[in-house]
Amino acid sequence: MLKYITAHLPALIALAAGVLILIMPRLLNLVVALYLICIGLIGLGVLRWFHL
């Protein structure tokens, strides 16, 4: 189950970011920054260090 969630984590983050941007467009900078940070951490495998 954890592999399924981890494999789809970028898609879930993108979906949440899109919804937030639609609701509050001023959050665009924050949402994009958080998205990029999360994708970078996932790409580097940092989340595995925390056993997520």
Euclidean distance between CA atoms 44 and 22, whole angstroms: 29
pLDDT at position 20 = 81
Euclidean distance between CA atoms 4 and 44, whole angstroms: 18
Residue 30 has pLDDT above 70, yes or no: yes
pLDDT band of 4, cuts 50, 70, 90: low
Helices 28-44 and 9-23 sit at what angle, rounded to 10 degrees?
170
At 39, list the tokens: 């994708």
Residue 7 has pLDDT above 80, yes or no: no
CA angle in degrees (0–180, nearest 5) for 49-29-14? 55
> Model pTM?
0.51
Across the chain, mean pLDDT equals 78
Euclidean distance between CA atoms 18 and 35, whole angstroms: 10
